[in-house]
Every structure is written in structure tokens, then in C-alpha cells.
Amino acid sequence: MMRPLKGLRNSFQAKESVDKMALLRAIFCVLFLGAFLVSCAKAPITGRTQLILISPEAEKGLGLKTAQEILGKEPIEHDPALNAMLIRVGSRIAKAAGRPDFEWEFHLIKRDDVVNAFCLPGGKVFVYTGVLKYTKDECGLATVIGHEVAHALARHGAERMSLALLSQVGETALEATLSSQGPQTVQTFRMLYGLVSNVGVILPYSRKQEFEADYIGLMLMAQAGYNPMCALSFWERMKKAQSGRPIIYFLATHPTDEARIERLRMVLPRAMERYNSALK
């Protein structure tokens, strides 16, 4: 009497497994169809095709929320001369960006120990005072702001989030297919999947974005009337400041200064053409 029941149970389990696989295939079909429909965006200036699964409205909302959080906890630099320079340079870069839909704001954070700057979705730009010792002047500052604004224009943040989302979905789906193989197999898979997706996909992609932001930023500063040669000088100073600190390029989210400078030299003639046209 037990054998028919066991056979029936096995039949139900097999059907459940088939249903699970069918559901996973359906999920992947919907995701990749959605990815295809949404990824018709192209990065500005470079024209690179992008995979973005997050709406511009949601991205801007996240940028605004993050900006409010930063302003609520970071010390603001009130020096009138420094702020005037930041707004002057930022406004020229913003005009060159050609995004009147962005609500541009420029904030100077009083943190001499932090060498950083960023532009949130929607045009909220933050510059830390620690980077000013490397920018030296307005042209150097234009290099930094141009680069960070380029990240926002090209929606690099949304692109990284979309890539992480697809990576997470892929991991979950494959774990489900391996669930019958036992916890040891699933644990090994998680470790290998995380290593391959991070080193093989996500980190190289961020380096690609960095090079793209360098190029777009160079064109923005040229359009704004700042000599693109300043970008080389800025990154040379950054390279000198970081000498003696080895970077493992294979695992680095940013390109080495040498690689960045080499790429900039390659595209500098195009940027100089735009700069000369802007001065006419």
C-alpha cells in the first residue's frame, strides 16, 4: 500500500520541480524583455548603449533623498570666495551639460581630510575641501566637476544598480535549480557566483564607466571654456600624491592613474577642437 503513495508523492515533487523551472523561465523572459525595452538609452557624447532598469524619476528621487541626508550630517564650508568659485565653475559645466531639467545645486563640504566629489542624479553636486589642494585653480576644479557631472548625465549609478539587480536575480534563480543538490553545493555556488560576477562583470564595468566619465567630462569642460589640458595636470598631481600606494588593477573599481592619463591623452585632440570652437 505504501508504494503507490510514494510514487504519487514523487509524481507531485516532479511536477513541482517542473512548475518551478517553468516559473523561473517565465521570470527570466519578463526580466530580459523588460531589460531590452528599457535599455534603449544611450550615454551622452559617447553614444554607448546602456542597460538601465530604473526610471529617471526614481533615480532623481533617490538623488534628492541622498542630498538631503548629506546636508543633514556633513559640515558645510561657508568661505565666500571658495563657494563663489564652486558656483562659477559648476554653473558653466551645468550649462555645457544641456540639462535644464536638472535642479543644479553646488555644495562645498568642509572636510580637508576627504579627497572626493560627486554629482547625484538630478544635479546635486558635492565637493569636499580636501580635493581643492589638487585642483589648484578653476580649471582643475572644472576637471573634477566635469567628471562627476558626466557620471550623472550618463546615469552610471542607475546602470550599476541595474547590473546588480540582474546579478541578484540570476543568483536566486540558479540557487533554486541547485536546491536539490544539497547545502554544500549551494554554498559553493554562492561563493563562486559572487566572485565571478563581481570580478568579471561589476568591477570592470565600473572602470569602463570611469573612462567614459573622463571622456564626457573632458568634453564638458572644453565646451564650458576650460582648457582640457588642465585635466592632465590634475591627474598628474593625483598620481604623484598616490605614489607608493600600490593598486591591484584587476580588483580596482577605478582605473590606475597611468591608464587614465593615457586614455585622456588619446582623446585630448578631440577635446581641444571643442575647446577652440567654444572660444570663437
**Whole-angstrom Cα distance, residue 238 to residue 257?**
8
d(C-alpha 78, C-alpha 58), whole Å? 31
How far apart are the C-alpha atoms of 135 and 142, rounded to whole Å? 8
CB-based contact 155:57 (threshold 8 Å): no
**Which residue is catalytic, options 59, 77, 105, 148?**
148
For residues 213 and 153, is the Cβ–Cβ distance under 8 A? no
Residue 42: strand pairing partners: 49
**How far is CA 159 from each of CA 4, 49, 116, 214, rounded to the nearest angstrom?**
53, 11, 21, 17
What b/e sequence results for 155-192 when a residue is b if at least 16 CB atoms lie within 10 Å of its CB, and e otherwise? bbbbbebbbeebbeeeeebeebeeeeeeeeeeeebeee
Helix, strand and coil content of the chain, in percent to the nearest 5, comes to 70, 5, 20
First to last CA, the chain: 94
Evaluate whether 264 touches 235 at the Cβ level (below 8 Å).
Answer: yes
148 as an active site residue: the answer is yes
Indicate which residues carry an active-site annotation: 148
